[in-house]
Chain A
Amino acid sequence: MPNQQAESILQVQGLKKYFSVKGFRSKSKNQQVKAVDDVSFTLYKGETLGLVGESGCGKSTTGRALLRLIEPSGGTVLYNNEDILKKSPREFRKVQKDMQMVFQDPFSSLNPRIRIGESIKESLTIHSIGNRNEREEIVMDILGKVGLRSDHYFRFPHEFSGGQRQRIGLARALVADPSILILDEPASGLDVSIQSQILNLLQELQDDFKLTSLFISHDMSVVRHISDRVGVMYLGKLMEEADTDTLFSNPVHPYTKALLSAVPIAKVGKKRERIVLKGEIPSPLNPPSGCIFHTRCPFAMDVCKQVVPEKVEIQDRHTVACHLYS
């Protein structure tokens, strides 16, 4: 766990991604989906920040926007004190070497027609690391580090199982020796026994490579296991952010509370008090006014319907956006 004085490596301020939707039925011409709405957080060197939320909460979009896979609509992302969102594509390429991503679906994140060694090597080619022979060696080396054999180099993705493919995905992300890793649900879709392999490997590699990670997941227990700090997202907004142990032992936002209580626990005898939220997640096309959560919040007050709650630091390194605490 990083100490308190850890230096920040990536500062995200007011990140926004609005998609315009041309609906046939909508009255206004261009409706906007606020997939990510004013999200700010900081990544400290060496830590793993977990980003959790249910589907459609904008956590994946956030990850992609940082790498400009989706061009953000607003905000700043400071890396080495430079706003990487303002860089030209050519300049941004250098940043891309340092920030790598691991994708959720190990089946579709590898080009089926390219031998996996070549897939991994491509990153080196793009960033002109090493010469021909060196590159091959680097790749063989990294294959070993993620627990694959060097003769796997010449095989095609379809010859691998899901777990192995996720190892390949990790190898590809790590081969260019990045400093930041963005992991988008890297262990979802895998069976429990495989998932544990990947999570363990991930932890090992983070130490080996001295990585800073943003770990995006919908699985609370996985996030708890792997992250140092956790941010909870709901409908494009960051609701609560705290150190992992704080958040899981003492959640303050009603949504976080509900989310945590909804996770089924593989233990018996301890019947917990469950907060079952009423209703569904509102459509992001037509988000509620005020606090975005008020439609489902068991503690909703009048003010929640009108005023968007500010982010408040209720405790050291524990922030929450809720009227109950402001």
Chain B
Amino acid sequence: MEQPLLEINNLKTHFKTERGRVTAVDGISFSVEKGEILGVVGESGCGKSVTAQSILRLFDEKYTASYEGEIKLQGENLLQLSKAEMEKIRGNEVSMIFQDPLSSLNPVFTIGYQLMETIRIHQNRTKKQARQMAIDLLRMTGIPSPEKRVSEYPHQLSGGMRQRVMIAMALACKPKLLIADEPTTALDVTIQAQILDLMLELNEELGMAVVFITHDLGVVAEVCTRVVVMYLGQVVEEANVEELFTTPLHPYTKGLMKAIPQMDGDRSQKLNVIGGTVPALNAIPSGCRFASRCEFANDLCKEKAPDLQVHEGNHKVRCWHYAEISNKEAARHA
């Protein structure tokens, strides 16, 4: 098999807090193939954003964060690179867009400046060339009259436009991997649709891989080819998108899917409820992390933490008795 573009092995991200060390991401492993769109989905606090930012080592390693494990980009472990080497990767090989496009753009510099900065850090261009490139990039992301826009400031643009700028900036150096951290959460549905279309288009056109982080299963279904489901700092399930939506295995994934109101079909049915709340990061249960909220949990679950096991192909799940559960459910429906 071809070497994956990105391979994460047992990544752990620890933070120093006032209440001691906290492990926000605890042993994550997954890989991203060239050109694919991998969705990382989960509820707030599950560690999906931390994972995203850990890939680029964006946390302050001197005072707050520390990493463990491996993040291999085309075989090279990013966690072992020097600061300067890391800077060469960022924005060049791997780039990133964030949830809130307003706060993610520096308010005091023009859009052109911020785009040109990215270009000139990684490519040897004159100011003039960089400016032209910036305009081209803006045009590519569908911003009208980009010649004018380059000299505007972020606050002068609408939310959707800003996210387009962020995308343009992320794509400036034609990266191999784009990490999109909830890129449409702050946007209206109609604008979200535009941005999602744009991302799909660009993915096809440029062939870069995307790690798409979101809490919205709908978005995942629309854009991703493969999905990783996270819960409390761990991957609980991983599968191709069709497989995940047709045959989810983990009780959490299942619960989540049934908790969403549907756009068609019977609406008189009650929504599914996952009882309880997510445990705090400094009070992680010793056994299965989902046990306290799982209706199928037994003593084993409470005592021993399950590993991520392969169900079939690239469908993986972290549950002691996912098979029984599926059977039970099938029986119930039948």
Interface residues of A (CB under 8 A from B): 54-55, 161, 163, 191-197, 199-200, 203, 218, 220-222, 224-226, 244-245, 248-249, 258-269, 274, 276-277, 280-281
Binding-face segment, B75-83, B268-276, B295-303:
B268-276
Identify which of A54, A193, A224, A225 contacts B273 (C-beta below 8 A).
Answer: A193
Which chain B positions have C-beta within 8 A of A191? 43-44, 215
Which residues from chain B contact A203 at a C-beta distance below 8 Å? Answer: 270
A200, B273: Cβ atoms under 8 Å? Answer: yes
B255 at interface by CB-CB < 8 Å: yes
The reply to whether B267 and A193 form a contact with Cβ atoms under 8 Å apart is no
Cα of A200 to Cα of B259 in the assembled complex, Å: 10
Whether A199 and B261, one on each chain, are in contact in the complex, defined by CB atoms closer than 8 angstroms, is yes
From residue B274, how far is it (CB to closest CB) to chain A in Å?
Answer: 4
* Beta-carbon nearest neighbor of B242 in chain A: A268
A200 and B271 in contact, given A193-B256, A248-B264, A265-B263 (Cβ under 8 angstroms):
yes
- The reply to whether A281 and B277 contact each other, CB–CB distance below 8 Å, is no
- Count: A-B pairs, CB below 8 Å: 119
Q: How far is the CA of A314 from the CA of B273 in the complex (A)?
A: 38
The distance from the CB of B295 to the nearest CB of chain A, in whole angstroms, is 13
Which A residues are in CB contact (< 8 Å) with B257?
266
Chain B's closest residue to A261 (CB) is B193
Interface residues of B (CB under 8 A from A): 43-44, 158, 160-161, 188-194, 196-197, 215-222, 241-242, 245-246, 255-257, 259-264, 267, 270-274, 277
Indicate if the CB atoms of B271 and A265 lie closer than 8 Å. Answer: no
**B245 & A266 in contact (Cβ 8 Å cutoff):** yes
- Whether B190 lies near A258 (C-beta < 8 A) is yes
Q: Is the CB of A192 within 8 A of B270?
A: no
A266 touches B220 (CB 8 A): yes
Whether A264 and B196, one on each chain, are in contact in the complex, defined by CB atoms closer than 8 angstroms, is yes
Bound Cα distance A245, B263 (Å): 10
Contact assessment for A277 and B190 in the assembled complex, using a CB-CB cutoff below 8 Å: yes
Greatest chain B CB density within 10 A among A221, A244, A269, A280 is at: A280
In contact, B273 and A262 (Cβ under 8 angstroms): no
Q: Which residues of B contact A264 (CB under 8 A)?
A: 192-193, 196, 216, 218-219, 221-222
For the complex, what is the distance from the CA of A264 to the CA of B221, rounded to whole Å? 8
Provided the pairs A191-B44, A264-B221 are in contact, do residues A55 and B188 lie with their beta carbons within 8 angstroms?
yes
Contact call B221/A267, Cβ cutoff below 8 A = yes
A196 CB contacts on chain B under 8 angstroms: 259-261, 271-274
A54 in contact with B271 (CB, 8 Å): no
Give, as a whole number of angstroms, the nearest-CB distance from A187 to chain B: 9
Determine the residue in chain A with the shortest Cβ distance to B262. Answer: A221
Within the complex, which residue of A225, A245, A265 is in contact with B218, where a contact is CB–CB below 8 Å? A265
Verify B189–A218 contact, CB threshold 8 A.
yes
* Chain B positions within 8 Å of A224 at CB level: 261-263, 267
What are 20 A-B contacts with C-beta separation under 8 Å?
A55-B188, A192-B215, A192-B256, A193-B255, A193-B273, A200-B271, A225-B267, A225-B271, A226-B261, A261-B193, A264-B192, A264-B216, A264-B218, A264-B221, A265-B221, A266-B260, A268-B246, A269-B246, A277-B193, A280-B160
| Whole-angstrom CA separation of A192 from B57 in the bound complex | 29
Question: In the complex, are the beta carbons of A277 and B194 less than 8 A apart?
Answer: yes
Among B190, B245, B246, find the residue whose CB has the most chain A CB atoms closer than 10 A.
B190
Most buried by B among A54, A220, A258: A54
| Bound-state Cα–Cα, A59 to B189, Å | 15
Q: Check B277–A163 contact: CB distance below 8 A.
A: yes
> Which residue of chain B has its CB nearest to the CB of A258?
B190
Name the CB-closest residue of A to B188.
A54
* Contact residues in B for A274 (Cβ distance below 8 Å): 193, 197
Q: Is the CB of B221 within 8 A of A262?
A: no
Contact A276 B263 (CB under 8 A): no
Inter-chain CA distance A226–B267, complex, in Å, is: 8
Given contact pairs A200-B270, A268-B241, enumerate 15 new A-B contacts (beta carbons under 8 Å): A192-B43, A193-B256, A200-B271, A225-B262, A226-B261, A259-B189, A260-B263, A261-B193, A263-B189, A265-B263, A267-B221, A274-B193, A276-B193, A280-B161, A281-B190
The CA-CA distance from A197 to B257 in the complex, in Å, is: 14
With beta carbons under 8 angstroms apart, the residue of A161, A193, A226, A244 that contacts B274 is A193
Complex: A274 Cα to B44 Cα, angstroms: 29
